[in-house]
């Protein structure tokens, strides 16, 4: 991906191991990442550089102090700069969510709150809609969905870059959406691994190399987990032997 097009993220968390773990996933999505270990460090970094999004841990000074809401301090400051923030916390509660998201009125300090036990994929799922301005509701004017056989299957809205099942909007990472969009544009035909690698990672690889690319295999597995139901006999992402993959929307 072109460096100029990469989204800049600030990850603020006092746990270096968590930052290291999450960085692995954020690097796979090709985000330009900076890190901070304290609220004060995060705020100073925000003063000096432009960012598209902040990920802030709730408790950054004392994990045992229920009054330590250092992440909210970061979110408040980021909001004055017009930078959206996601609170990531091992201590989710109704009070924290209500305060961070201002559900009783007013502009939110944070755009989302993700419990750490939900895992890194939940963080990725929260990031993409915020960075790319996804609409929270499917349907409405200009809703160009892919056809499904019985109305309760997978659909794509390429105009607004939405993916859902029936009336439920699915939260996908950037690369998961690009994968589905690229396959959908084949109109049921097979898409080679070379084409997928080029569309997702902007790299040109020989088909033999692309077919064995671990990034693509992992991305397909993660996407299948999102769009396919356990135990279902219908696979939306199908392997076409010797040719690549296809998107099977019909049920």
Q: Are 18 and 12 in contact (CB under 8 A)?
A: no
Residue keyed to tokens 């996933």: 25
At 55 the three-state DSSP class reads strand
Q: Give the pLDDT band of residue 137 (cuts 50, 70, 90).
A: very low
Topology of domain 173-247, CATH: Arc Repressor Mutant, subunit A (1.10.10)
Q: DSSP code of 117?
A: G
Q: Are 65 and 59 in contact (CB under 8 A)?
A: yes
Yes or no: is domain 3-131 CATH 1.10.8.60?
A: no
The Cα 243–Cα 251 span in angstroms is: 22
What's the rounded mean pLDDT across residues 142-154?
Answer: 47
What pLDDT score does 4 carry? 53
Q: Evaluate if residue 37 carries a pLDDT over 90.
A: yes
Q: Give the pLDDT band of residue 117 (cuts 50, 70, 90).
A: confident
CA-to-CA dists, residue 188 to 150, 165, 182, 223, 250, angstroms: 17, 18, 11, 17, 9
Of 204, 222, 46, nearest to 128 by C-alpha is: 222
Regarding predicted confidence, which is higher, 169 or 220?
Answer: 220
The structural domains of the chain, with segments of one domain joined by +, span 3-131, 173-247
Cα torsion 74, 79, 82, 88: sign = positive
Lowest-confidence region among 54-58, 135-139, 198-202, 231-235: 135-139
Phi, psi of 226 (to 5 degrees): -80, -40
Residue keyed to tokens 């109109």: 187
- Maximum Cα–Cα distance across the chain: 58
The Cα 54–Cα 179 span in angstroms is: 25
Find the distance separating the first CA and the last CA of the chain, reported in whole Å: 35
Provide the whole-model pTM: 0.52
The Cα 169–Cα 138 span in angstroms is: 6
Of 172, 210, 196, 202, nearest to 245 by C-alpha is: 196
What is the b/e burial string over 20-46, where b = at least 16 CB atoms within 10 angstroms of the residue's CB? Answer: eebbebbebbbbbbbbbbebebbbebb
Continuous segment of H or E residues that includes residue 89:
strand 85-89
């Amino acid at each position: 991906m072109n460096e100029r097009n990469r989204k800049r993220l600030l990850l603020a968390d006092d746990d270096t191991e968590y930052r290291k773990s999450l960085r692995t996933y954020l690097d796979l999505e090709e985000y330009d990442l900076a890190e901070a270990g304290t609220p004060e460090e995060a705020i100073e970094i925000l003063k000096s550089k432009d960012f598209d999004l902040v990920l802030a841990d709730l408790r950054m000074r004392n994990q045992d102090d229920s009054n330590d809401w250092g992440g909210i301090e970061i979110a408040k400051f980021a909001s004055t700069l017009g930078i959206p923030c996601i609170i990531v916390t091992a201590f989710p509660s109704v009070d924290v969510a209500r305060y961070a998201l201002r559900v009783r009125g007013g502009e939110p300090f944070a755009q989302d709150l993700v419990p750490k036990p939900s895992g890194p994929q939940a963080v990725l799922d929260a990031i993409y809609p915020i960075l790319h301005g996804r609409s929270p509701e499917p349907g409405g004017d200009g809703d160009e969905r892919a056809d499904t056989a019985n109305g309760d299957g997978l659909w794509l809205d390429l105009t607004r870059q939405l993916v859902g099942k029936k009336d439920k909007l699915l939260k996908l990472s950037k690369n998961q959406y690009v994968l589905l969009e690229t396959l959908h544009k084949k109109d049921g035909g097979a898409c080679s691994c070379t084409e997928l690698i080029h569309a997702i990672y902007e790299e040109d690889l020989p088909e033999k190399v692309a077919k064995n690319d671990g990034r693509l295999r992992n991305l397909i597995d993660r996407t299948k987990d999102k769009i396919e139901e356990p135990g279902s006999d219908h696979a939306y992402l199908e392997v076409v032997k010797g040719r690549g993959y296809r998107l099977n929307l019909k049920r």
